[in-house]
Amino acid sequence: MTKILVVDDQPLLLDTLRRVLGTVGFEVQTADDGESALRLAREERPDLILLDVVLPTISGLEVCRILRKDSSVPILMLTAMDKEVDKVVGLEMGADDYLTKPFSVRELLARVKALLRRVEWGQSLEETAACAEPVVVSRLRENGVEVDLVSRRTVRTGVPVDLKPKEFDLLAFLMHHRGQAFPPGQLLTEVWGYQDTSDTRTVVVHIRRLREKLENDPSQPKLIQTVRGVGYRFWQ
């Protein structure tokens, strides 16, 4: 059973999320402060973490930063702050996505399922690659960049590149469709699994971070290009 750790200091919301996620078949564990969240994340190894930004003892942003040192578990930040800078900080700390309070149950479940699909995709690749048949493409190589879809490792001109989970997914998608330009809204659908594509700031932040890690000069990108009036593409 898929295990989700929910971290929030509001007892009513914590109980609601426990019941909602449990009803659709998830095993739910809860924590109401940052220290408990870190302990449970390390002991129980959840498949996904719902993490509030404002927490007692240790903030959610700091919890996210600490976990990212040795874990790639998908993290969905829950925030009552709607400022762009707050959301960007969460992404910079290594969160995979954010959800602004108040949110609907439908939107929450859609975000959770989209993040879990990434985990299932990686596991299915590992299982398939371990078999003699069928043969699958497990590596993409273009213009000095190589991504291993099974181990989820990235190399640029022989040097390992440390990518966050969604940075890797976005890069792999663009490389797989090299030369084809995708609007930010379509990338939200294809990579994040969103149905609501009105807010594309998540894509913009991840594109910027990929350029900072892969480009010789991020201000003049050669690999991940902007196609004016369309979106982004990986250079062919």
pLDDT in tens, 175-227: 888 888 999 999 988 888 787 788 888 899 999 999 999 999 999 999 999 99
DSSP-derived letter for residue 236 is -
How many whole angstroms separate alpha carbon 213 and alpha carbon 206?
11
How many whole angstroms separate alpha carbon 6 and alpha carbon 21?
10
pLDDT band of residue 82 (cuts 50, 70, 90) is low
Calculate mean pLDDT across residues 134-152. 72
pLDDT digits (tens, 9 = 90+) for 39-75: 999 999 999 999 998 899 999 999 998 998 888 888 9
Lowest model confidence (mean pLDDT) among 128-137, 140-149, 182-191: 128-137
Residues contacting residue 226 through CB under 8 Å, at least 6 positions apart:
232
Nearest one of 87, 66, 110, 73 to 206, comparing CA atoms: 87
Q: Strands 48-52 and 27-31, how do they pair?
A: unpaired
Lowest model confidence (mean pLDDT) among 8-12, 100-104, 148-152, 170-174: 148-152
Token pair listed for 201: 């700031």
* Under 8 Å between Cβ of 79 and 51: no
Calculate mean pLDDT across residues 121-140. 47
pLDDT band of residue 130 (cuts 50, 70, 90) is very low
How many whole angstroms separate alpha carbon 220 and alpha carbon 168?
21
Residue 25 is predicted with a pLDDT of 92
